[in-house]
Amino acid sequence: MRHVRILAVQCGASHVAYGLFSGGPGSLVLERFATQPVGASHPTEDDWLESVGAALRELLRGERLHGGCVVGLPGHLTFNRLFRIPAVSPRQRRKIIAFEQRQGTATAEKMVGSHVVLAQDEAGRDIMLAVAKRRLVENLGVRIRENGLYPEAVLPAWLVLRYAIGYRFAGPAGALVLSVGARSSQLVSAGASGFSACTLAVGGNTVTQKVAEELELDPTAAEAFKLRGFADTAERPVGARERVAGQKAIDQFVRRLCAEILRLPPFLPSAKDAARPAVLWLTGGGARLPELPAALEEKLQLRVERWDLRSHLGLGRTATDLGLGQDDVPLVDLVGLAAGAARGARSEGNLLPRPFRREMLVRRRWPWLAISALLVIVAGLVPIWRLRVKAREARRQIAEVESTLSVFRQAEAQNRSSLARLADINRRIAALRKLARGRSGWMALLGELQGRLASEQDVWLDRLQVLAPDSRESSGEPAATPARSDVNPPAGPIEAVAGIRLLVAGRLFDAGRLTAGAGDESPLKVESLLGALRLSPLVAAVEHEHFAASQPGFFDFEITLRLAPDALF
């Protein structure tokens, strides 16, 4: 059996009570109980709400009660209707229920409704609809919340009685229960023949008002006189005037009450005798009227008994001195609320608007939600903190590596600077070497020419000229400007060594040709000179040879020498 803790709060028309229960659906244990009168005069709903709020503050003062609770609503504040829905789809069923809820009521924004499936078969379902004012239910929830409790469900009076009947009369036999309240009465029939419930617009305040009018008493004195009874006894003598006024009020109340009861399905002439109840169980604040059971038996022709649930209710160790008496009528409603909650039926017939329920759920669980949110935040911050630590460590390592790399970068920069300077020095050395080779090359070339010409004897030079690469010589006269044989060679490098040509002009003396006339015949000495020049390793080719016998034994010559590529450099 599932043990639960249930806090039930009954807000009646004339009283407010709470009961703290434990146990399971079949065996409830009353741990704590208290009741507080609301007051006899509250003509408007706002007055009743104020009286309920004040009674709750007085009732719960000094009590350490907290958490969720189920709340009972008085019968005169709800509108109930029984109807049948054929076997249709769930969507169509919801539309039919919404249509029935709008019938005879204000706009849906101002009303809140709930329904309970009483019976169902293949042909359809029997549904009981309950409707109440949204503002009234929400304000009642606010009053309860102000006293430290969280309303989870607000149930109509007939549904509370149904749960109480299910707890007391287990099995198909069922029972017929009449709960006489201060401003209305509930007649609930449950058994093998089905379930029916009806709210009667007749309450115990009718007797109180009639007595107050007849005897000119205030409502509080009239209520006390009504509860004492109107019968004249030795212990409580009653005057003739008071007895007549009380009896008149009771007769009027019983007539109105029985007229409403006899129109209900269990008492209709068409009802079978087997389905008619044998006992009418009487409960509620109005049932405390001493003369009421006998009057109802006479009018209804069936046995009437007071409904007492104390024998079916266990008492906790802290509730042994509660002092429960026979007149503790809120106990039936509290047991019905607890029995419904123990069955897990808090959403069945609940008149509390869904937005208000969600708000109460959030307010009730906000510490856990705050702790959960804090845990989620902490759970999210821990990885972030770890990542920040790792990032800080990574940045430190990067800084260390960067400091190490900076030394190597400086060394690399110095190396690049040194290599650049070295390359510049090498280029300068190469240029200087080339210049030195060029200067020494001319000396070697001139020494080579001198040796070749000296080997031939009787040869002297008149002109030695370096020709431009694109110069063109004519026959007899070179294109370059004549120069003397002692002209200095250029000190700088030549543009294209492979294309350097050197014009050599001079005279040749041939003693064997002194007697010969002038002519262009080339003597053997000329051929010997050309052969000696061609054999020089510094001469690549001999071009444009020109010899002329100007005088006997003398030959003028102009020869173009194409130097070898490495002759000068």
Nearest to 141 by CA among 129, 133, 153, 131: 153
CB 398 within 8 A of CB 452: no
CB 564 within 8 A of CB 498: no
Distance of CA 271 to the CA centre of its chain: 60
- Joined tokens for residue 553: 């034994």
Classify strands 459-467 and 501-509 as parallel, antiparallel or unpaired: antiparallel
Mean per-residue pLDDT, 491-512: 66
Cα separation of the two ends of the chain: 118
DSSP secondary structure string for all residues of 456-471: H-SEEEEEEEEEPTT-
The yes-or-no verdict on residue 65 having pLDDT over 80 is yes
Phi, psi of 44 (to 5 degrees): -115, 165
Instruction: Tell me the three state secondary structure of residue 74.
Output: coil
Question: pLDDT tens across 443-468, in order?
Answer: 777 887 888 787 877 788 888 888 86
pTM reported for the whole predicted model: 0.63
CB 92 within 8 A of CB 99: no
Instruction: Tell me the three state secondary structure of residue 315.
Output: strand
Range picked from 39-48, 189-198, 379-388 for highest mean pLDDT? 379-388
Q: Which pLDDT score is estimated for 477? A: 46
- Joined tokens for residue 157: 């009076």
DSSP 490: P
Question: pLDDT tens across 22-57, in order?
Answer: 877 678 888 888 888 886 566 688 888 988 988 899
- Beta-carbon neighbour count of residue 504 at 10 Å? 21
Nearest to 199 by CA among 218, 212, 223, 183: 183
Residues making up the chain, counted from first to last: 569
Nearest to 456 by CA among 326, 569, 316, 557: 557
On the 0-12 / 13-18 / 19+ scale of CB atoms within 10 A, 347 is exposed
Nearest to 56 by CA among 141, 138, 147: 147
Of 66-80, 164-178, 414-428, 506-520, least confident by mean pLDDT is 506-520
- Residue entry with tokens 């123990």: 342
Handedness of CA 210, 215, 219, 220 (dihedral sign): negative
Phi, psi of 371 (to 5 degrees): -65, -40
